[in-house]
Amino acid sequence: MTNRKKTPSWYTINKSLTIQLKQLGNCMSTFKSITKEEWIAKIQKERKGADPSGILHRKTLDGFFLDILHTTAEPANISFPDSSRWIKCQEYGMFTPQALNQCLLRDLQGGCDGALIRLDSGLASGEAFVGDGTSLWNVDGWDQALDGVYLEGMPLHIESGSAAFCVGATLLAWQMERKVSNVQIHYGLDPLGAFAQSGIRLESMSALYQKGKEFYEWVQPLQPESRIFRVSSEPYHMAGACRTRELSIILATIAEYLRHLEISPQELSKQLTLYLPMGRDIFENIAVLRSIRMLYSHMFDACGVKATPYIHAKTSQRMLSIYDPWVNMLRSTTAGFSAAVGKADSISISPYDARLATDTELGARVARNTHHLLSDECHLDQLFDPGLGSYYIENYTHTLSEKAWEAFQTIESRGGLYAMLRKRSVRALLEEDWRQRKKRIVTGKMSIIGCNLYPQPEEKPVISLANTADETRRQSEYYFARGASPTIGGSTLPSIIPLFHEGLTTNELMDGIFFYKKKVIPPLPVHYDAEPFEKLRALPSQPIPLLKIGSEAQWSARAQFAEQFLCSGGIACSHHILPFEDNLHSILECSKNVDSAVICICGPDGYYTDNLISSLRSYGKVLVVGRPSERAVQPWKYMYRGCNMVELLQSILSETT
């Protein structure tokens, strides 16, 4: 009989591991404690004596400074959800119900366990379809979209803007017809957010609040796991808001609902879903999610209620670009990672081609599998609060919370969010935020790969548009086949829901119960980070000559910079290499053969002589690659890192086309 090695028991393994960890702790306790002064001295030494103070602080887009180097940090008192696992909740805006159904089933089979359905915004005003969401305008549409979907096993988020009440009623009618129960639906009623986004007020705000209260009282006993109200910073985020502004507006919206919905703070805290877009900055995203949890708890603490928010984080559309869309994979992964670290309850990650609206299977698969990489490979769903104790994150969280609370108090002192929306004060603040953000983008301080950095000149993106004509025709045929619409005898849910079984549509319900329908304020604008360069590249352009003066070592770096600079505005350049010897004669000879209103010269600063610039003026406007300098003869423009790229590119385009 052979002797087998005895497998050590769990007790033995555990005891051995405990001893090793204790020994490791003893070793770590012998490490010397490093002071902040010693860190600074070390940094200064590595930088060969240069003053390190300039790199030890960071100015955020919110306008405050953050210390990069810390030695102490007070942990934030944050209320997190019970589970560290997030719901993999993808966003859908496919135009037809059939296309939506195919994508839903594909992603659910691929491991997703939630969905956010964005509906066509044309339903909000009862007008023609726009094509920016799914056309679910009757019970049959919901039946087609959710065919084969086990709704009881997945949370469903609805994004329908001003039509949220009517869409919710349609969905309730479908559930009653299909006898669906025990569901978790986020219906998305957000009167203030819809008003800010569209500028349309369907009825008096008091009447809208009353409808929201009625919807809550009718649905909550039937679906205790569902949430009725939505508070989203996305409309303000897309208008250019900084993070402090977004958080303060969320708090101001909650304050308005606490005052006017006539629902107890205890109940309202369980009915709110917070929607926050995640951008390109990992630390900023983490701080935002931790900060809103602190602020939310602080606000409800003032009402005598212990509350933990439900947060749905979605990758920002603002940071995506139609040029070089493959880079959007990295942006979305960064946003998804920070949302997971910030412990969002549910996360939706946009496909890399979301702005192109192509809805490719590859885009959906990459977005879906990003969730699995973050959870199954990075194990971020097993961590409670990864940011806890990080000096930089803790400081960022506290500072952001303080600034957001101050901004919220300012909104309240001016009469509340609705009053500021009516006076267009919020719009003015958002325009200033966007101006500051755009300034960093057009000067290249905020890099956008594929747009203002490493652009691809051969790209010609095509945005796919939904066929709204077919859906409009199908709706007309439906009305003709059905005949007269059911008469709306009242505006209460018990009287409305049976009418959907008689063929009522969401559009008709909007027209039947909302008589006001007036555009009170202009809708909030929508801005994308890459927008300034996308507009330039859509314009016609002519190539300009790039004269490279001297040896390759002398012009190489500047020539590469100039080529990328011009390409970011859709301008090609023809290359001409000219040796420095007898450079004036050769440059002038070359310029004679070039048919362009602008001539770009690239080389060492010492080669940009007054004689050269004055001689070139007779052939076109002289564009010099380099920083402005004192000289007797000034060129037309300078091209350098940090200049306003968009203004210079616009000037070149206006001269050459």
**Residue 142, H or E segment:** helix 139-145
Give the model confidence (pLDDT) of 326-354 as tens digits: 999 999 999 999 999 999 999 999 999 99
Alpha carbons 418 and 253: distance in angstroms, whole number: 8
Alpha carbons 465 and 311: distance in angstroms, whole number: 31
Alpha carbons 305 and 200: distance in angstroms, whole number: 34
User: So what's the pLDDT on residue 19?
Assistant: 56
**Residue 445, H or E segment:** none
Q: Structure tokens of 234?
A: 């996305």
pTM attached to this predicted model: 0.91
Reply yes or no on whether the pLDDT at 97 is more than 90. yes
User: So what's the pLDDT on residue 366?
Assistant: 96
Give the model confidence (pLDDT) of 244-295 as tens digits: 999 999 999 999 999 999 999 999 999 999 999 999 999 999 999 999 999 9
Confidence of residue 325 (pLDDT cuts 50, 70, 90): very high
* Best CA proximity match to 139, nearest among 165, 174, 177: 174
Confidence of residue 30 (pLDDT cuts 50, 70, 90): low
Reply yes or no on whether the pLDDT at 1 is more than 50. no
Give the model confidence (pLDDT) of 44-68 as tens digits: 888 888 877 777 788 888 888 888 7
Give the model confidence (pLDDT) of 487-519 as tens digits: 887 778 888 999 998 999 998 898 888 876 777
**Residue 126, H or E segment:** none
What average pLDDT score do residues 511-535 get? 88
Give the model confidence (pLDDT) of 355-383 as tens digits: 999 889 999 999 999 999 999 999 998 88
Of residues 572 and 60, more confidently modeled = 572
What average pLDDT score do residues 176-181 get? 90
Q: Which of 120-134, 431-445, 465-479 has the lowest mean pLDDT?
A: 120-134
Contact 251, 299 (CB under 8 A): yes
Burial of 155 (0-12, 13-18, 19+ CB in 10 A): buried
Instruction: Give per-residue burial for 163-174: e unless 16+ CB within 10 Å, then b.
Output: bbbbbbbbbbbb
Sequence-distant (6+) residues with CB within 8 A of 452 are 441, 442, 444, 533, 568, 645
Reply yes or no on whether the pLDDT at 11 is more than 60. no
Alpha carbons 360 and 353: distance in angstroms, whole number: 8
Alpha carbons 143 and 154: distance in angstroms, whole number: 17
Tell me what percent of the residues of the chain surpass a pLDDT of 90: 63
Sequence-distant (6+) residues with CB within 8 A of 45 are none
Give the chain's mean pLDDT. 89
User: So what's the pLDDT on residue 124?
Assistant: 67
Confidence of residue 2 (pLDDT cuts 50, 70, 90): very low
CA atoms lying within 13 Å on the CB side of residue 455: 28
**Cβ neighbour number for residue 522 with a 10 Å cutoff:** 10
